[in-house]
Amino acid sequence: MRLSANLRALTLATLSAFLLSATASAAEVRVMISGGLSAAYKALVPEFERTTGNKVLTAYGPSMGTTTNAIPVRLERGEPADVLIMVGYALDDLVKKGKVTAGTSVDLVKSPIGVAVKSGTPKPDISTADALKRALLAVKTVAYSDSASGVYVSTEMFDKLGIKEAMQGKARKIPATPVGEIVAHGEAEIGFQQMSELKPVQGIEIVGPLPDELQKITVFSAGIASVSKEPEAGKALIKFLASPAARGEIVKSGLDPIPAGTTN
């Protein structure tokens, strides 16, 4: 009788340990992500959660800048994070600052810059650099983002077109808010941002990507935050986003997938 009781106790202890292990295997993965990959990410995360049992908690913000929700600012004030998904060179900066674990960075996608106007308004000719220059000089208001695409547009592209001074009175940087929303509300006649960030916005029409001679491709990458409490679950999410299974949604969102295994 005593042996039977001991066996029952052992069985219950084993079952409890198993259930505890199963519960512990489900992780909460905290992600900070910038706008460039957000549309595809939102479509893909439910599948990752379904297949792994992990829960993904997401904070959105630009890859750079000083706004309250910018990823570097979030990290500086101590917000928890496991995975960072952002502009590649901005992620590299965080590696150098010790905010991202070295050797965990993975390049996920390439993203071109697009041009948008409000729905129902004429689409300007942007087929060449000269055509885009004429279009910009003809309008009164231009908007660009406070992230990678906007940095390029304001510090390089306007210079290349020889219109930097002309743009000073009409072009403005939009912090945090998607540029497409500014265009949709009629607050800017032409807007520049990553194609993938323009696509989800209602009330605008994407004229197209910048002409080849002006285009600037941005790489979006992912890495594990040095403060991560769930680095293995975070790595699993990054691996999933870099896998062939994610390709369809990534292409649909206007991005070009980078083959899995490519690292910074």
194-239 pLDDT, tens digit each: 999 999 999 999 999 999 999 999 999 999 999 999 999 999 999 9
Question: Does the pLDDT of residue 51 top 90, yes or no?
Answer: yes
Q: How many helices (H) and strands (E) does the chain have?
A: 12, 11
The CA dihedral of 37, 39, 43, 48, to the nearest 10 degrees, is 20
Give the per-residue pLDDT at 7.
37
Model pLDDT, residue 259: 83
Domains annotated on the chain, with CATH = 27-110+219-257 (3.40.190.10), 113-209 (3.40.190.10)
Confidence check: pLDDT of 25 > 50: yes
Between CA 119 and CA 31 the distance in angstroms is 33
The pLDDT of residue 261 is 53
Q: Give the CA radius of gyration of the chain.
A: 23
The Cα 49–Cα 17 span in angstroms is 24
Q: What DSSP assignment string belongs to 187-256?
A: S-SEEEEEHHHHTT-TTEEEEEEPPTTT---EEEEEEEBTT-S-HHHHHHHHHHHTSGGGHHHHHHTT-E
Per DSSP bridges, beta strands 28-33 and 142-145 are: unpaired
Task: Provide mean pLDDT across the span 119-128.
Answer: 97
6-9 contacts, C-beta under 8 A, 24 or more apart: none
What's the pLDDT score for residue 119?
98
pLDDT exceeds cutoff 60 at 9: no
pTM here is 0.80
Residue 152 has pLDDT above 90, yes or no: yes
Measuring CA to CA, which residue among 177, 201, 176 is closest to residue 254?
Answer: 201
